[in-house]
Amino acid sequence: MLASLGVRALILSSFILVVTLGFWELSTPAVKTAGEMTEYELLMGGADQEARVPPPSQILVRAWEELSNPFYDNGPNDKGIGIQIGYSLFRVLTGYLMAAIIAIPVGFLIGMSPLMYRALDPFIQVLRPISPLAWMPLALFIIKDSEASAIFVIFICSIWPMLINTAFGVAGVRRDWVNVARTHELGALRTALTVILPAAAPTIVTGMRISIGIAWLVIVAAEMLVGGTGVGYYVWNEWNNLDLTSVIFSILVIGVVGMLLDAAFAQVQRAVRYQE
């Protein structure tokens, strides 16, 4: 009971990890080395009768190989994981930024004007539940560029949480604070920037955090469809190569990158938070 909660949680986490990986490792029968195999086994690919999920040790080895040279480029179907992640991040951030540029001002407008809120609400309610991938055929047809279509899909999926949270945050700014701005004769722009924006910032950033999470979820699926580059394509390509080790490795990488993106926004959230 001497150790702090954090330390104890860390110990328990490590225990769960070791046990899980241990079971996984042990439940996967070791593949015989080439020397032990009969001629027939070698001809049949040196494997079992059925394909198995590779053990964690194999994934660790693959991870080491990939991460020690993440930026190699051996042509269209063989690029390092770093390059693939780079492509995906570029798409996510471009689409996300475009969404923010539109969602935050429009959210402000909706939050400040009950008329705009009522006028735009039906459009938002219909458009919001549409799966971002459902836009893909239309995007491909109109934009005629797979790269730009992927960015558009990110744009359309990350716009809604930001838009709704901004409107919600702006509409919920305490009347008193707005009155402070009014009694100090602040103009509309000064009021928006010095009172409403900081007051609504925690809600807006929460929306941005939700959006980046969704964008990272969607990019994998979008790239599986679009193909060519990106971590989503990488997963699908390795599946086509029947390289499950790489598939599992890339799944983990997707998780870690998503976690880092989320952590970055958690920092922003901490910076704009205030206590009443």
Q: For another protein, what does the binding mask look like between residues 120 and 159, x meaning CB under 8 A? A: ----------------------------------------
Query: Is 267 a binder of another protein (CB under 8 A)?
Result: no
Secondary structure, 3-state, 47-80? CCCCCCCCCHHHHHHHHHHHHHCCCCECCCCCEC
User: Angle, nearest 10°, between helix axes 231-240 and 81-112?
Assistant: 140
Query: Is 172 a binder of another protein (CB under 8 A)?
Result: no
> C-beta of 275: minimal distance to another protein in Å?
4
Query: Is 177 a binder of another protein (CB under 8 A)?
Result: yes
Residue 216 phi, psi (nearest 5): -70, -35
Distances (CA, A) of 117 to 83, 107, 120, 124, 229: 42, 9, 6, 10, 40
- Distance in angstroms between the alpha carbons of the first and the last residue of the chain: 35
Residue holding tokens 């735009």? Answer: 120
Query: Is 179 a binder of another protein (CB under 8 A)?
Result: yes
Residue 77 phi, psi (nearest 5): -100, 10
Nearer to another protein, 80 or 207 (CB): 207
**Structure tokens given for 128:** 């919001």
Region near another protein per CB under 8 A, out of 95-103, 209-217, 247-255, 267-275: 267-275
Distance CA 79, CA 61 (A): 18
Nearer to another protein, 50 or 176 (CB): 176
Q: With CB under 8 A, what is the number of residues at the site for another protein?
A: 18
Distance CA 55, CA 24 (A): 6
Nearer to another protein, 68 or 183 (CB): 183
Query: Is 20 a binder of another protein (CB under 8 A)?
Result: no
Query: Is 52 a binder of another protein (CB under 8 A)?
Result: no
Q: Which of 49, 74, 183, 240 binds another protein (CB under 8 A)?
A: 183
Q: What is the CA radius of gyration of the chain?
A: 25
Query: Is 265 a binder of another protein (CB under 8 A)?
Result: no
Interface positions, 192-231, toward another protein (CB under 8 A)? 194-195, 198-199, 201
Interface residues with another protein (CB under 8 A)?
A: 176-177, 179-180, 182-186, 194-195, 198-199, 201, 272, 274-276
